Structure 1
Amino acid sequence: MEVSDVHHAYRKRQVLRGVDLELRKGLVAGIVGENGAGKTTLLSILSGELRPDRGRVRHSGELGYCPQAAVLNNSLTVNQHIDFFKTARCLPDLRRAGEIMELLQFREYAEERVGVLSGGTRQKLNLTLALMHDPQILLLDEPYQGFDWETYQRFWELATRLREGGRSVLVVSHLAYDAERLDLLWRLDGGRLCAQTTGRTE
């Protein structure tokens, strides 16, 4: 993914003032910034949900997008959500979804209605729906919100597997959790991205 000189404003409030980034294959990268810095706006532009006022976003391969607020139907079960996305994505089977559910350990909730699930389990489903079509680029907005420690560790295991499979992962958060696990880290400040140091070494 290549992003060049992206700008966006809400009326007279300029949120993004020339964002540039390059996300190569096989990398796990992060963007941090204060609340209101424009992180969700940037992710919406990268995912194609929002058009920038100026600038360009280019990418090859399919995208997976996991928004901070899960767009789920409380009346449907976990399996019904997964079946719906299988049809929408024209997937031949649910093998990939099953692998992610096993890793995140929530198969026992497959027949539960989403409305009765905890916030952490809803987020597991949110992540599964973003990944079940095996996208080349995964965009995550506060992905581990509501996770307990074990699930948090499993999330990073999943991110590592994606990296090893040549996928690109972009994690957006207001805090630089586990910066040592990232290949790249940027801070969104004043509408621009500034490179930060990570603890990860090759």
Structure 2
Amino acid sequence: MTVRDVHYAYARGARLVLRGINLALWPGSVLGIVGENGAGKSTLLKILSGELKPDQGTVTHRDRIGYCPQKVVLNDAFTVSQHLEFFKVAYGLDDLRRADEISELLNLTPYANERAGVLSGGTRQKLNLTLALMHDPQLLLLDEPYQGFDWETYLRFWELADQLRADGRSVLVVSHLAYDTERLDELWRLDGGILHKAAQVSVP
């Protein structure tokens, strides 16, 4: 994916949320973007995923994208298994083999018959991540992906990220905090609508 000179404002004449974003994600890499709440991180991900159109600039990608938004979008009346079956049809998949692999890694499998509405926040996030990955995308966009995870699941998340990198996938992790920065190939800070490459980010 290549991002060139992306600008965005939520209303005509309003303050620009993004002011000339340039970014490249290459195969086999895990990149991070950090920034304060309200810095425009989620807006940037929506543009990268195609949910929003930039006012100026271009986003170019040729591969399948997986998008895991910060706000979990699930049907509370559906079970975990029903979500997987629904997305299997939506993605045009032949089977749920990849979904089962991710579910097993994230320890989501025991909740297969539970309705989404009764799941904890962390378990809902596991399902959200599984749905974003089950069609085996080349590029994965993650907005606060480990929100609500316990320590074991947090470590499993990074194990999954390492697997994706080794398989030649691209992963972009967006968060207001920077944990485990040594796991990232590049780290950027979004501040004032501009991306700044960060050599090191201190965890508050």
On whether the aligned pair clears a TM of 0.5, the verdict is: yes
TM range (shorter): over 0.9
* Secondary structure in 1 matching 2:157: helix
Shift of 1:94: 0.3
State how far apart, in whole Å, the 2-side matches of 1:95 and 1:23 are.
27
Shift of 1:177: 1.1
- Segments of structure 2 that go 5 or more residues without pairing to the other structure are none
* Secondary structure in 1 matching 2:95: coil
- Segments of structure 1 that go 5 or more residues without pairing to the other structure are none
State how far apart, in whole Å, the 2-side matches of 1:149 and 1:17 are.
36
User: How many residue pairs align between the two structures?
Assistant: 199
| TM-score for the superposition, normalised by structure 1 | 0.97
Q: Output the amino acid matched with 1:175.
A: L
Would you say 1:154 and 2:137 are equivalent positions? Answer: no
State how far apart, in whole Å, the 1-side matches of 2:144 and 2:163 are.
19
Would you say 1:9 and 2:5 are equivalent positions? Answer: no
Q: Over aligned residues, Cα RMSD in angstroms? A: 0.9
Are the aligned partners of 1:4 and 1:20 in contact in 2 as well (CA < 8 Å)? yes
Would you say 1:113 and 2:115 are equivalent positions? Answer: yes
Shift of 1:60: 1.7
Are the aligned partners of 1:37 and 1:190 in contact in 2 as well (CA < 8 Å)? yes
Shift of 1:197: 1.6
Q: Output the amino acid matched with 1:44.
A: K
* Secondary structure in 2 matching 1:160: helix
**Residue in 1 aligned with 2:71?**
69
* Secondary structure in 2 matching 1:37: coil
Alignment of 1:5-154 (within 5 A): 5-11=5-11, 12-154=14-156
* Secondary structure in 1 matching 2:22: strand
State how far apart, in whole Å, the 1-side matches of 2:6 and 2:72 are.
26
State how far apart, in whole Å, the 2-side matches of 1:91 and 1:197 are.
41
Which portions of structure 1, spanning 4 or more consecutive aligned residues, are displaced by more than 4 angstroms?
none
Q: Output the amino acid matched with 1:167.
A: R
Are the aligned partners of 1:137 and 1:169 in contact in 2 as well (CA < 8 Å)? yes
Are the aligned partners of 1:182 and 1:198 in contact in 2 as well (CA < 8 Å)? no
